[in-house]
Every structure is written in C-alpha cells, then in structure tokens.
Amino acid sequence: MISTYHRPRTLDEALTLLTQPNTVPLGGGTLLSKPTADSVAVVDLQALRLDSLRVNGNDLQIGATCTLQSLLEADECPTPLKTALKLEAPLNIRNTATVAGTIVASDGRSTFATMLLAMDAKLDLIVNRQSKIVNCGEFLLTRPSGLITSITVPLNAKTAFEFVSKTPADKPIVCAALSQWNSGRTRLSLGGYGKTPLLAMDGTEADGLDTAAKNAYHEAEDEWASAEYRMDVAATLAKRALEGIS
Ligand SMILES: Cc1cc2nc3c(=O)[nH]c(=O)nc-3n(C[C@H](O)[C@H](O)[C@H](O)COP(=O)(O)OP(=O)(O)OC[C@H]3O[C@@H](n4cnc5c(N)ncnc54)[C@H](O)[C@@H]3O)c2cc1C
C-alpha cells in the first residue's frame, strides 16, 4: 500500500527523498499500486524527464521511465526486442509500465529481461549519489538497490528471439535470446523459468550453442514443464535463433 506520495521536479530532489527509510522509486506503478499489507513511500519519477530514447553511436539509450510501449513503437528498437516487449505484458500494462520498473520487478519468465541479458545491456544506476554502470547480468543476479536512470543496448549486434508458449500471447515456457557481434562474440540467454533469466553462453563464436542451452536448463523443472522438456526446447530454440539471426 502506498502511504506517502512524492513527485519531485529534479533528480537531486528525488535522490534526497530516496534516502528516507522505506521509500522507493515509482515508475509506472503497475506493480507498486497493487494492494499489499506493507506500506511504502514512493518517489514518482514522471516529472524528471527520464523517458527519452536516444541513439548514441552504436547504442540506444533508453530513459528509465520510457514505457514498454514507447520502446516497442520506436523505429530504433530492434525487431527481436519488440517481440520480447510484446510478450512481457498486455497493451494496457505496456502503456504504463516503465523499462526500469520492469527490469527491477522481473523474474525468470520476463522476456524483456531475457533479451536485455543477451544484448549485454548496461544500466545507469545511482547508489548513494554515486553514478555507476552495471551490466544487466550482474544487476539481475545481485539486484542492487538504487535509482536506475537509463538502460543502454547495442545497435551494432545482430539479435534473435525465439520462444515456445501455450498460446502465442502467453508468457513463454522457454525463450532463447541471442546476440552476435561482428567479432564473433555470441551471447545466449534463456528465459521462461526461475527467479531470473540465465546466461547460457558468452563466447567468442557460436560453437556449442545448443549444448550450452541444454546444459543451462538441466534443473529447470516447475509446474509448467519438466527440466527434460525445457532442455530439449532450449537447444532447439538456440539453433533456430542462430539460423534466423539478423
Ligand atoms: C493488471 C496487471 C497485469 C500484469 N501482468 C503482468 C504480466 O503478464 N507479466 C508480468 O511479468 N508482470 C505483469 N504485471 C506486473 C507489472 O506490470 C510489471 O512488473 C511492470 O513492468 C512494472 O513496471 P512499472 O514501471 O509499473 O514499475 P513500478 O510498479 O513503478 O515499480 C516496480 C519496482 O521497480 C522499482 N523501480 C521503478 N522504477 C525504478 C527505477 N528507475 N530505478 C530503480 N527502481 C525502480 C520500484 O521501486 C518497484 O520496486 C502486471 C501488473 C498488473 C497491474
């Protein structure tokens, strides 16, 4: 339950408010506004102009409060990332939920976080008023607190996103996201299971991609699918992603 609401006009003001106990950033509020027993003070980020999308050399810099739908509709957004965004949440939620709120709230079934992990996205994070760049992989594993101001993804990598789900619009049971750079560097991440997407491979070439996918999901058993099923599907999706990468 939100007990106190702040809407600062400057980043400095927001950072000061966030030093208060039990006070968290508010993005789109789709998760924070859900009823809970605990009360929390929120710092609404909407007046801070953190919603821009900017191409910077080979990178796309996505402001923390950019909504999932704005990113999806942007010409600069790579097509596989658009597919992942569409699967993340239905349209009404995509129109409100922000990129930063979504990555903070993500679990292993998040298609958006799975794609960001494969793209080796970087997060601009402010902790104790110190700005630092955190790799998406590190962020997802350690979940540090702080204020995310932007997320940067490369535009010079080829990417692919493949998935299997019960219906075309459902959250995938298994998804595979792939990025490949001109150097041959190949990153494969898997989603559809557990607390966070898994990085299955980050290599100098694509050799052994399907085996890496299979091995990464050897314990991926839950009420949706057996580990054996996920291992086979992950290997197939990884191969398909490599064949279709563009
Ligand atoms: C009706 C409904 C349906 C939903 N359906 C789905 C679904 O199908 N699949 C699914 O995965 N989720 C679903 N959700 C959950 C929710 O949509 C996502 O988690 C959402 O993407 C969160 O984004 P937000 O911007 O609204 O975050 P908020 O609710 O504003 O915040 C979420 C978390 O992120 C933190 N945060 C926000 N911005 C920042 C920042 N800049 N820096 C640091 N921390 C920040 C907040 O403090 C909070 O801890 C649904 C929610 C609703 C209400």
Angle at 199 between CA 193 and CA 200, to 5 degrees: 90
Distance from Cα 24 to the centre of ligand 1, integer Å: 12
Q: Is residue 8 assigned to a domain?
A: no
* Proportion of the chain in helix, strand, coil states, percent, rounded to 5: 30, 30, 40
Which residues in 207-236 are b (16+ Cβ under 10 Å) and which e? eebbebbbebbeebeeebbeeebbbbbbbb
Look at residue 35 and tell me whether its pLDDT is greater than 90.
no
Q: Which of 154, 184, 199 is the last residue of a domain?
A: 154
Distance from Cα 231 to the centre of ligand 1, integer Å: 29
Distance from Cα 102 to the centre of ligand 1, integer Å: 5
Same domain, 79 and 147: yes
**Domain harbouring 200, CATH code:** 3.30.390.50
**Element of type H or E holding 10:** none
Mutate to test the pocket of ligand 1, among 1, 34, 99, 104 (most ligand atoms within 8 A of CB): 104
Same domain, 231 and 193: yes
**Domain harbouring 85, CATH code:** 3.30.465.10
Distance from Cα 206 to the centre of ligand 1, integer Å: 34
Per-residue pLDDT of 152-170, as tens digits, reads 999 999 999 999 999 988 9
Q: What is the overall mean pLDDT for the chain?
A: 97
Ligand 1: residues with CB < 6 A are 24-32, 45, 64, 89, 93, 96-98, 100-102, 104-105, 110, 147-148
Look at residue 205 and tell me whether its pLDDT is greater than 90.
yes
Give the pLDDT band of residue 137 (cuts 50, 70, 90).
Answer: very high
Give residue 244's pLDDT.
Answer: 93
Same domain, 179 and 204: yes
Rounded-to-integer distance, Cα 36 and Cα 54, Å: 36
pLDDT > 70 fraction of the chain, expressed in percent and rounded: 100
Q: Which of 154, 186, 212 is the last residue of a domain?
A: 154
Rounded-to-integer distance, Cα 88 and Cα 208, Å: 29
Distance from Cα 208 to the centre of ligand 1, integer Å: 35
Same domain, 115 and 177: no
Q: Closest ligand 1 atom, CA of 50?
A: 41
Question: What pTM value is reported for the model?
Answer: 0.96
Give the pLDDT band of residue 138 (cuts 50, 70, 90).
Answer: very high
Look at residue 37 and tell me whether its pLDDT is greater than 90.
no
Nearest CA to ligand 1 atom 41: 148
Give residue 246's pLDDT.
Answer: 87
Give residue 116's pLDDT.
Answer: 98
Q: Is residue 18 assigned to a domain?
A: no
Same domain, 117 and 206: no
Looking at the structure of the chain, the number of domains it has is 2
Q: Which of 154, 170, 203 is the last residue of a domain?
A: 154
Rounded-to-integer distance, Cα 198 and Cα 207, Å: 18
The parent domain of residue 58 ranges over: 53-154
**Element of type H or E holding 117:** helix 111-118
Q: What is the mean pLDDT of residues 181-205?
A: 97
Q: Closest ligand 1 atom, CA of 34?
A: 53
Q: Is residue 134 assigned to a domain?
A: yes
Same domain, 177 and 144: no
Give the pLDDT band of residue 61 (cuts 50, 70, 90).
Answer: very high
Q: Is residue 20 assigned to a domain?
A: no
Distance from Cα 33 to the centre of ligand 1, integer Å: 9
Give residue 83's pLDDT.
Answer: 98
